[in-house]
Amino acid sequence: MLRVAESANDALNVAGSLCGVPFVGVAAVVVDRIVKTCREVKVHKQRTTQISLKCVQILSTLNDQAQTLEGSDLQQLLDQLMPTLEKILKRAEKWSNYNAVVTFLKNGDIKEGLDRSDAELDTAMQLFHSFSAAISLHSAQRIIADTMRSNTAELRDLLHQVLSRRSETEQIIELQSAGQHVAEQFMAAGQEVDLNTINANNVELPRTTSPVPDIQDSQRYLEYQRGLIHLHRETGIPPTIKVLNGEVTRTGDLAVAGGTYSDIWTGRWLGEEKVVLGFCRRIWADQTCQSQVALKALRNIRASDPRARRRFENEINMWANLKNDHILPFYGIVTDLGQHIHIVSPWQENGNVLEYVKMHPDADRLPLIRGSAEGLAYLHSCKIIHGNSERLRCVIDGEARICDFGMSKIIEEVTEESASATLTAGGSARWMAPELIEGKSPSMEADTYSYAMAILELLTGKRPFADCKSTAAVIRHIVVLKQIPQRPETLTGTWLSDELWNLMCSCWAKEFTSRPSMAQVTDRLKAIECRK
């Protein structure tokens, strides 16, 4: 019996030595091609080597059987074996032709193909009863477990190659532009690589709450960062994995703005992109846990509270699926920047709508008003209540984008304190529907009411009920006297047409069931815009 092959080189030698043997030679030619082709597959190296060795084991066994079997019996055995070897060769040839990008995308398919090949070879081995005792399936399974662990490093190397080479990332961008959503897969894989545990020698280090000092200088780390940022900028996709711990840094020690629920900082995602970091004053991060970004920090709710964590997990999944030109993209959350949970979104250089029109007094208000309406209508179509329409102000390139949606419900559920109490205490009564002030939960109809108040503020540059100096006076006008704002005379004929004013008044209807839906508001605004 021929020596059992122990390496890819041994396998080639064994297969080559049998190519001229009668009957066995046909199988030997195919096995020789399998061994050579498996060498060219870019991932699962040990697993493909294992497949090669199994093929050679079968070939060696076939050669041994050729010494004792009649020609017809040997041919019958060969007829059963050859389809299996040919299927394996066809798969290996397909995999070996994949470039780095396609190999990464097809990694799961390759693994499934190897599993099928392994099972088919085990079945083929059972054909040789006289040799079955010499073939240890248990040993083969142990090898599989070892090779699965080694493949993680191979995939990491392949990902590094794709993200660090411009030609490879350009292929991803082309596929994404053609409608194949592959960029998200690479973004997720790049984020899954523990950037805080990669150094120049690719050594695993224990994860800590702070980056290892020398890792920031690692060329490999920087190449991962640059590759992900390039992918983000060229395709427009946000981070795929929404927990951004270790990826975001905060800029400065002072908040740049604040709202009813949150304080806002600027920061950097992957060291480059500017983002907004906001934390809710009532939500706290568990201490154990570079585009510029915005960081919104939510106040007074501890992330160590299981209810807060579960609620945020649900919201993350929902927010991540929102895609609309008038909704501010959601990048994710951060829990490793102090006591609070931070919500991360892209930084908007133009600020909010009120700031934008102050800087651009001649800007057409109607597209901003209609854009906000479209964003709110989209949220409602997704069964999402904004709950704090005072904050319908974000803009980008002159287009209004809705932000800060859904927070009122989270605050209400986690703190067991009504949204109306939180909003009123935060000074938002001027924008609130009367039923919300009276203690009812946020609703789509209340959003419509508050939206019209936001329009009024945009048009006048003043808060609703500007003559009322105190929250108590505002509540008296809305709830007791059941009043709506008076029409500002100075705006007649400028931005505030009769048609727009009538639409706003319908949004302020005392009976919430009489208010138009935001889809209806959007349609009417489009008609007003066309007739302007």
Q: Could you tell me the domains of the chain? A: 1-142 (no CATH), 165-201+217-240 (no CATH), 248-346 (3.30.200.20), 353-527 (1.10.510.10)
**38 Rama sector, left if φ>0, alpha if ψ -120 to 50, beta otherwise:** alpha
Which residues face 527 on adjacent strands?
A: none
Q: What is the mean pLDDT of residues 31-46?
A: 91
pLDDT band at residue 139 using 50, 70 and 90 as cut-offs? very low
Q: Which residues contact 310 (CB under 8 A, 6 or more apart)?
A: none
Closest CA to 63 of 31, 91, 108: 31
Q: Confidence class of residue 102 from pLDDT cuts 50, 70 and 90?
A: very high
Instruction: Give the DSSP per-residue string, 408-433.
Output: HHHHHHHH---HHHHHHHTT-GGGS-
> Between residues 387 and 54, which one has the greater pLDDT?
54
| Helices 71-96 and 45-65, packing angle to 10 deg | 170
pLDDT in tens, 339-372: 777 888 888 777 788 888 888 888 889 999 999 9
Strand ranges, E, within 319-453: 332-334, 340-346, 395-396, 399-400
pLDDT, mean of residues 58-79: 69
Give the per-residue pLDDT at 281.
45
Residue 252 vs residue 402, higher pLDDT: 402
**pLDDT at residue 352, as a whole number:** 80
pLDDT at 206 over 50: no
* Residue of higher predicted confidence among 206 and 96: 96
What local confidence, expressed as pLDDT, does residue 146 receive? 59
Would you state the pLDDT for residue 344?
Answer: 85
262's enclosing H/E stretch is strand 262-269
Q: What is the pLDDT of residue 41?
A: 93
Report the pLDDT averaged over residues 227-252: 84
pLDDT classification of 415: cutoffs 50, 70, 90:
low
Res 520 pLDDT > 70? yes
Task: Tell me the range of 111-115, 133-137, 154-158 where mean pLDDT is highest.
Answer: 111-115
Q: What per-residue confidence (pLDDT) applies to 513?
A: 94
Give me the mean pLDDT over the 372-396 stretch. Answer: 79
Band of residue 149 on the pLDDT scale cut at 50, 70, 90? low
